Amino acid sequence: MKKLVYLAALAMLSLLSGFTNPKKNTQKPKLIVGVVIDQMRYDYLTRFASKYGEDGFKRLLKGGFSLENAHYNYIPTYTAVGHASIYTGTTPVNHAIISNNWYDKYAKKSIYCVDDSKYKTIGNNGDGGKKSPYRMLTTTVTDQLKLAQNMNGKTIGIAIKDRSAILPAGHAANGAYWFDGGDKGQWISSSYYVNNLPNWVQEFNMSKKVDEYLEQPWETLYDINTYTESISDDNNFEQPFKGEEKPVFPHNIPALKSKNNNYSIIKAIPAGNSLTTDFAKAAIIGENLGKSNFTDFLAVSYSSTDYVGHQFGVASKEIEDTYLRLDKDLANLFKFLDTQVGEGNYTLFLTADHAAVQVPSYLQSVKIPANYFSYTKFRDYVTEITKKHFNSDAIVENISNFQIFLNKEKIEELKLDVHTVAQKIADEVINYKGIYKTVTAKTLQSTTFTNGILNSLQNGYNQKFSGDVLLVPNPSTISHSKKGTTHGSGYSYDTHIPMIFYGNGIKQGTSKKKYEIVDIAPTISNLLQIEFPNGSTGKIIDEVLE
């Protein structure tokens, strides 16, 4: 009897606490929103903090859980690989997206990660929509959510870049939409997903929002003299737009448009992020996301940050302005989610697909070691090695993404052993200027590297698709023009990214513990109580979950 009273009291208490704490939402999320900021370094959160508003990045930092020491754990840190790894919870070892473009040794040609000629463009008569995620071999957290709900619930992927919409949305998505630039200026899709553009996409395209954005010059959001977090606007380390003499504000977009591939210019200015936000909002309404009894998933990736970063570099006024404006776009999106889906009804995570190195020529100017790598010169060097040791200039089939692909037929014809040839090349090219480490595929197959840069190289190595000799360049050594910058390495400047969870089921706090990008998908899977993606190698980040 006593026990019964106690139990009744307990039930009463939990019922009461349910009423007295309405903010505590015990319902599963109605919508998961994955936000990926292309090329966002962790330090962009702190560097511009004094100028961010309260409702963008700071809202996530204050109300959510921020992992301050989150990193990519593989090489190469490129866009397609990043998006695939976030959503599959594994690395190229398993998901097989080894780069954006790579040499397909079976087809004997360079391929693009999401090209698929089996499908046609939906939205116009161009080739921009002949895409699918078929080269990604494992499932995504978005796929697992669809499977767990017997294909109920909707998944929509959105980004200016096709690969950043397609890979996150997974194989079983309802739709993925990306922006077709050039003379088109429309959001399109692939017949892999749909046979016609949904009404809301057609209406968005007809609204000509993109034209409105391109009628404005790109000026700084605030007085440029207050932009004290970046170097001087006019410098030698930035790439002006075509038709511009200097890489300085204001950038006269209407006048520059025709010289910079028309509608494609919006990719490389902050308005591209605003357009993405507008389109994401249209998707939430058009697809009724977060309104059913099932959990929906919106995967949105902001691509313009990457184009601006490549063109102007990490320290530029343009990057500062792009992030201050993105902060406003994010605030706008979060507020929209509050009214449309309801605060507490959605869970959001924000991260990046890779970070970026400071412009090497800028680093050199301040005496920090940095350099440029020329594939043309390197190829000549490798040819001299194979001529000298194996009396042939036809042994190497392709060099790309810091990997050497050998011509196996030629090696057999010359009656040489492929492992001997690979090892000799690895031993010789280590002497090339700017090369830091060299490893053969055989070593990666027979040795387990548990930490450091070789562990990252191994995590990015796929036995079936990767090359025969893998190279690691020196820190801050890139293959790029001397103006602007890039990414792709396993060094901290490319691997350290924001990782923030927010909303339904998420605690408030921060952590300085080291986490890896592959931990996001298992954490979201655990939050949803669904099976992990089938190749997942990450762990559940226990401390962010309620």
Instruction: Report the interface residues with Zn ion, using CB under 5 A.
Output: 306
Residue nearer to Zn ion on the CB measure, 382 or 478 = 478
| Of 133, 279, 127, 143, the residue nearest 193 (C-alpha) | 133
Two structure tokens written together for 543: 């401390």
In whole angstroms, the minimum distance from the beta carbon of 247 to Zn ion comes to 18
In whole angstroms, the minimum distance from the beta carbon of 352 to Zn ion comes to 11
The backbone torsions φ and ψ at residue 268, rounded to the nearest 5 degrees and listed phi first, read: -100, 20
- Cα–Cα–Cα angle for 455, 510, 515, nearest 5°? 10
Distance CA 229, CA 172 (A): 43
DSSP string, 400-469: ETTEEEE-HHHHHHTT--HHHHHHHHHHHHTTSTTEEEEEEHHHHHH----SHHHHHHHHT--TTTS-SE
Residue nearer to Zn ion on the CB measure, 306 or 318 = 306
Distance CA 188, CA 279 (A): 12
Residue nearer to Zn ion on the CB measure, 444 or 478 = 478
* Partner residues linked to 179 by β-bridges: 187
| Of 363, 342, 318, the residue nearest 475 (C-alpha) | 363
In the chain, the amino acid numbered 384 is E
In whole angstroms, the minimum distance from the beta carbon of 310 to Zn ion comes to 6
Residue nearer to Zn ion on the CB measure, 373 or 501 = 373
Please identify which of the residues 79, 277, 386, 443 carries the catalytic annotation: 79
Cβ(138)–Cβ(534) under 8 Å?
yes
| Of 116, 112, 119, 261, the residue nearest 185 (C-alpha) | 261
Helices (H), 21-148: 43-47, 57-63, 79-88, 92-95, 141-148
Return the residue matching tokens 């079936």. 464
Two structure tokens written together for 76: 């190469």
Distance CA 334, CA 348 (A): 9
Return the residue matching tokens 């050199």. 364
Two structure tokens written together for 197: 């553009």
* 79 is an active site residue: yes
Residue nearer to Zn ion on the CB measure, 160 or 541 = 160
* CB proximity list for 1: less than 8 A, separation 6 or greater: none
Asked whether the CA dihedral 334, 337, 343, 347 is positive or negative, the reply is: negative
Strands 101-104 and 109-112: antiparallel
In whole angstroms, the minimum distance from the beta carbon of 144 to Zn ion comes to 28
Rg for the chain, CA atoms, rounded: 24
Q: What share of the chain is helix, strand, coil (3-state, %, to 5)?
A: 40, 20, 40
In the chain, the amino acid numbered 68 is E
Residue nearer to Zn ion on the CB measure, 146 or 354 = 354
In whole angstroms, the minimum distance from the beta carbon of 40 to Zn ion comes to 11
Return the residue matching tokens 């370094």. 41
Residue nearer to Zn ion on the CB measure, 306 or 320 = 306
Residue nearer to Zn ion on the CB measure, 353 or 519 = 353
In whole angstroms, the minimum distance from the beta carbon of 79 to Zn ion comes to 6
In whole angstroms, the minimum distance from the beta carbon of 160 to Zn ion comes to 12
In whole angstroms, the minimum distance from the beta carbon of 36 to Zn ion comes to 12
Residue nearest to Zn ion (CB): 306
Residue nearer to Zn ion on the CB measure, 473 or 505 = 473
In whole angstroms, the minimum distance from the beta carbon of 100 to Zn ion comes to 8
In whole angstroms, the minimum distance from the beta carbon of 356 to Zn ion comes to 7
- Cα–Cα–Cα angle for 194, 159, 45, nearest 5°? 155
Distance CA 15, CA 45 (A): 40
Residue nearer to Zn ion on the CB measure, 81 or 416 = 81
Active centre residues (catalytic)? 79
